[in-house]
Structure 1
Amino acid sequence: MNADDFTKEELFSRLLQLEQRVEELEQENKRKDKKIDQLQEQLDQKDERIEELETRLRKYENPHTPPSKRRSGTDESPTSQDHEDENVRTDGGTPGRKDGHDPEWRVTADPDKEIEVTRDCCPECGDHFDESVGVSPRLVEEVPDPQPPEVTQYNRHCYQCDSCGTETVATHPDCPDEGQFGVNVISQAALSRYDHRLPYRKIADRFEQLHGLELSGASAWHATERAARAGRCEYEQIRRQIQQAEIVHVDETGIKREGEQAWIWTFRTSEHTLYAVRESRGSDVPAEVLGEDFAGTVICDGWTAYPAFSSNLQRCWAHLLREAEDAANDHEEAEPVHRYLKQMFVGLQSWLETDPSPRERAQMHRSCQNGLRSLVERSVTDEAVATLLGKIEGGIDHWLTFVGEPAVSPTNNAAENALREPVVLRKIIGTLRNDRGMFVHETILSLLATWRQQGRNPYEELRRVVSNNEMISRAHAVPAVETSG
């Protein structure tokens, strides 16, 4: 059948049908184009989200990120795991006591009093009991109700010497020379701020809720500042102890001062911890705190301030191994470097457990240092691997100090652990306001950390230093002398 077989009406009808079909197809194409545009927009949004997440992930997956902040090493999908335990840790560990660790039991306190709890009749049938057939003891520990503040007026009598004209005001050990708050209030305010991490407004609320003591946030700040001034003498004693130490772990992290960049440094030994807030991150800070004549060993990371201060260093192997592992994950050429470093470190740790002699230590030090020199001399084409080898070469004299000196640790974990508390506080307080804030911050943090290391009670120690400061202030006070014309 050809076109001649159709009438004009039929051809016209067919043409209309074709035009409608074309129009339908065009509409369908428009809908598909719109759908494609929507899908493309969603893909662009997802690409932006992926880039944002990768940027945030780099903060937690780099050579300088400690293992505690890294993602779990498991590759299992969350959807494939059982949901029986909603408290599964995400840091790669498991809750509860670790294998091989002895359990710790809470020591049961001796009762201060005993109360006999009896019953006269059966709760079911009402029949009267003749006597008990046994005792089911239960120890209950409770704190006493908060006590209201005790307000004391000290009528301090004034005297004038008839011989020399000196005016004297009588003193009392419980009466402070400054302010209206006593030793307990000052100590609790400082502890609430730096141990319980409360804002000063919350500290004031706590005193009012528990004791009915009305004070403002500013008063809580001034009480904390008084505690810092009272403890500054002990802070300087801690500094002198650290200056005489044979081994000091040193590290630093950023902190804001009036919104500007500053640094909080930590200096840690086995018994003392000192914090110093400074605007500098250079070698002048350890020179100031430790003294330019410091003769001990500094355990540190690879920051350039440390070799500028001292040549007696131990570079942190935890940083080195993490950096080598990250490089090996991204660059095949770095795999033998990471493998060599890991085998050396693990081998040295096992060998040191045999308690080698000083001569054996010296021989092992030379052997391992030669091995590191051979490692950094290898030819590589990848820039990242070359950078890693350059860092190893830059610290070639400082990686193996722990081999020759038994008391030196190969990692700087002690200083990194000491910085955790200041980092948490940094997230809460945001910025230090001025020099007074820096003074209080470094002083109280140092005292609390040192007392914890030594197993001392921070509250009792704060009360001690505040009380002692009042007595010392009175002992060194110069009385006013009035002379007649």
Structure 2
Amino acid sequence: MQTLPDLSKLSHAQKDDLIRLLWPLIEEVRQLKARVAELEARLAKDSHNSHKPPSSDGLKKTHSQRESSGKAPGGQAGHKGTGLKRVSVPDTVIEHRLPEYCVCGARLNAAYSGERRQVFDIPVAQFNVTEHRTWQARCRCGREHQSAFADGVNQLVQYGPNLKALAVHLTQGQLLPLFRTAQLIEQLFGLPLSAATVHAWIGEAARRLAPAVARIGQALVASPVAHADESGLRVAAKLHWLHTVASPTLTWYGVHARRGAPAMQAHAILPHRSGVLVHDCWGPYWQMPGEHALCNAHLIRELIYLHETTGQVWPKRLIRHLRRARDHCEAARREGHAAVPDRLRRRIERRYAAILAQAQACHPPQTRTRPRRGRIKQSVAHNLTRRLSLHAAAVLRFVSDLTVPFTNNLGERAIRMPKVKQKISGSFRTLKGAEDFCIIRSYLDTLHKQGHNVFQALRSAFIAQPIAACPD
């Protein structure tokens, strides 16, 4: 082990040389420590304290933000359960009769005991072929008469709307791959089908539904509150972006090669809105007109991360304050109020500002130690507190306007199913395939929200009678 040199024996020039040698090393050590802290912070992030999806957690223990209700699992006392109930007129009756004679040889005079049991099941299905025939006749006057086929019957042999609707629903609604959809239909109904045929039906459905989905987009322009989100999507071996705009009764999807404002301008929904837009504070959303509301679930996850990494108390205090404000708003809605009392709203805003003032005192902005060009890198805590202060009105929009929800759950939930589709089936091979998926999924998700049977909705589309989606 080397020992330190005797510094008292060094000349002033030697000490100066030593300082010049150590000074860059001290700065390098500072930078390395900052880098190690940054990497350790990355490792500490998962879905409960950052924007990372739960699928990225791997085998880690999950941490849900749901608060315990204090109730035992399962049905609660007094809960009226539901289940199968016997019907008065069954479709089929099977009599389990006794033998005519007893083993002793005596004749049995059996009577119905009155005990019944019913089994609910589905029939073993088999495809059905319907043949259409036309008739012709010649009148005595010499005029020829020819009957016509029904609308949609235009081929010598073709598939019907029920089968098309089922295949499209399985791929676009239930997210099955094309080959597995064809395989399932053959196993269930005994009807051989190719993946290419299913793919053609998807394109046909998209063409038929495009006008209805355009009307959904127009309705979202007029919606007083809308939720927006975006996520990466692999299309034709390149990164594209899936965009969604949603409300409680409407969902619209679009795909674009760009993520930001150019895609939003091309989709022509957000730039024409004047209502409230709920989002996750991503920069391009602030360029859209109207009022803005931030997703507090995102902010709470960031606050959890700061509390876990810094050990400071203010993030927990702000989390509790936001959740209490949410509870006050929910209580006001239950009681039928249009807004929370002004006195309560002002108290919530003052408390929010006081907690932020304490947080900003703990995390002042970094200053430059020596002349350098460029922006000074600030800490994660400082950036968050600055954002919470700068956009305080958007954070607390749910308090000032009870029509605005606490989170962007509608937008995030809309993104979730297309991501599941990508995980199951892989990337979209063509841009048209991704666009067709967006059209059909917009229609299905909207009608599902409005209480329609999505299979019947698809069947209606294939017989040229698509169901009109009701606006908000």
Q: Report the TM-score when normalising by structure 2.
A: 0.72
Counterpart position of 1:276 = 254
Please say if residues 226 and 276 of structure 2, whose CA atoms lie closer than 8 Å, have aligned partners that are also in contact.
yes
Q: Which amino acid aligns with 1:409?
A: P
**Contact in 1 for aligned 2:168/2:202 (Cα 8 Å):** yes
Instruction: Confirm or deny that 1:209 pairs with 2:196.
Output: no
Partner residue in 2 for 1:182: 160
| Contact kept? 2:134, 2:149, Cα under 8 Å | no
Q: 1:71 to 1:417 in 2, by over 3 A?
A: farther
SS of aligned partner of 2:362: coil
In the aligned structure 2, how far is the partner of 1:208 from the partner of 1:242? Answer: 40
The CA distance in 2 between the partners of 1:103 and 1:67, in whole Å, is 34
Quote the residue 1:379 is aligned against: 361
Percent of aligned pairs with the same residue? 22
Please state how far the C-alpha of 1:203 moved relative to its aligned partner.
2.1
Paired position in structure 2 for 1:259: 237
Determine if contact 2:251/2:442 at 8 Å carries over to the other structure.
yes
Query: How many Å separate the matches in 1 of 2:336 and 2:117?
Result: 55
Can you list the C-alpha shifts for 1:332-357, whole angstroms capped at 9, x where unaligned? 23x22331342243145226624697
In the alignment, the residues of structure 1 paired with residue 177 and residue 395 of structure 2 have an alpha-carbon distance, to the nearest angstrom, of 43
| CA displacement at 1:140 relative to structure 2 | 1.7
What residue is the counterpart of 1:346 in the other structure?
A: 324
Listed as ranges, the gaps of 5+ residues in structure 1 are 1-51, 75-90, 158-167, 471-485
Q: Distance in 2 between matches of 1:286 and 1:101?
A: 50
Name which one, 1 or 2, has greater alpha-carbon Rg.
1
Whole-Å Cα distance in 1 between the matches of residues 353 and 455 of structure 2? 52
1:245 alignment partner in structure 2:
223
Aligned twin of 2:18 = none
Instruction: Show the counterpart of 1:292.
Output: 271
Q: How does 1:305-454 map to 2 (within 5 A)?
A: 305-333=284-312, 335-350=313-328, 353-354=331-332, 361-362=341-342, 364-377=344-357, 378-381=360-363, 383-454=379-450
- Contact 1:230–1:469, Cα closer than 8 Å, also in 2: no
Specify the alignment match of 1:64 in structure 2.
Answer: 51
- Secondary structure at the aligned position of 1:140 is classed as coil
Name the TM-score, length of structure 1 as normaliser. 0.70
**CA distance in structure 2 between the partners assigned to 1:399 and 1:464 by the alignment:** 43
Structure 1 pair 107/312, CA: closer, same or farther in 2 (3 Å)? Answer: farther
Deviation at 1:73, TM superposition (A): 4.8
Change (3 A) 1:280 1:99: farther
Which residue matches 1:108?
85
With over 3 angstroms needed to count, the CA separation of the structure-2 counterparts of 1:462 and 1:296, relative to structure 1, is same
In the alignment, is residue 97 of structure 1 matched against residue 74 of structure 2? Answer: yes
CA contact (8 A) 1:230 1:466 kept: yes
Tell me what 1:28 maps to. none
Please give the alpha-carbon distance, in whole angstroms, between the structure 2 residues aligned to 1:95 and 1:66: 29
SS in structure 1 of the partner of residue 252 of structure 2:
strand
Instruction: Quote the offset at 1:453 in angstroms.
Output: 1.0
Q: For each residue in 1:100-145, what CA deviation from the matched residue of structure 2 results, as whole angstroms up to 9, or x when unmatched? A: 7945413536323434331126888776532236222111223233
Q: CA deviation at 1:154?
A: 6.3
Q: Distance in 2 between matches of 1:188 and 1:71?
A: 38
The 3-state SS of whatever aligns with 1:397 is: helix
8 Å CA contact retained: 1:364, 1:403: no
Counterpart mapping for 1:191-202 below 5 A: 191-202=169-180
Paired with 1:419 and 1:72, the residues of 2 have a C-alpha distance of: 21
Paired with 1:175 and 1:95, the residues of 2 have a C-alpha distance of 57
> 1:331, CA displacement in angstroms?
0.2
- Provide, for residues 4-45 of structure 1, a one-character-per-residue CA deviation record: whole Å limited to 9, x for no partner: xxxxxxxxxxxxxxxxxxxxxxxxxxxxxxxxxxxxxxxxxx
Alignment of 1:454-465 (within 5 A): 454-465=450-461
Matched letter for residue 85 of structure 2: T
- Structure 1 residue 417: Cα displacement: 1.9
* Runs of at least 5 residues in structure 2 that lack an aligned partner in the other structure: 1-38, 137-145, 365-378, 467-472
Corresponding residue of 2:19 = none
Question: Counterparts of 1:436 and 1:101 in 2: how far apart (Å)?
Answer: 53
Aligned partner of 1:81 in structure 2 is: none
Q: CA deviation at 1:302?
A: 1.7
After TM superposition, give the deviation of residue 191 of structure 1 in Å.
0.9
Secondary structure, aligned partner of 1:148: coil
Cα distance change of structure 1 residues 319 and 347 upon mapping to structure 2, 3 Å threshold = same
Is the Cα contact below 8 Å between 2:257 and 2:263 reproduced in 1?
A: no
In the alignment, the residues of structure 1 paired with residue 281 and residue 225 of structure 2 have an alpha-carbon distance, to the nearest angstrom, of 17
Q: Which of 109, 133, 139 does residue 130 from structure 1 map onto?
A: 109
Residue 235, structure 1, aligned to residue 225, structure 2 = no
Q: Secondary structure at the match of 1:406?
A: coil
Q: Per the alignment, in what secondary structure is the counterpart of residue 272 of structure 2? A: coil
Q: In the alignment, is the contact (CA less than 8 A) between 1:301 and 1:315 conserved in 2?
A: yes
Query: Using the alignment, how far apart are the partners of 2:464 and 2:336 within structure 1?
Result: 48
Given candidates 125, 129, 153, the residue that maps to 1:146 is 125
Q: 1:282 to 1:366 in 2, by over 3 A?
A: farther
**How far did 1:468 drift?**
1.4
**Is the contact between residue 316 and residue 412 of structure 1 (CA under 8 Å) also seen in structure 2?**
yes
Contact 2:236 2:431 in 1 (8 A): no
Return the letter of the residue paired with 2:61: R
Quote the Cα distance in structure 2 between the aligned partners of 1:217 and 1:453: 29
When residues 342 and 156 of structure 1 are mapped into structure 2, their CA distance, relative to the original with a 3 A threshold, is farther
CA contact (8 A) 1:321 1:338 kept: no
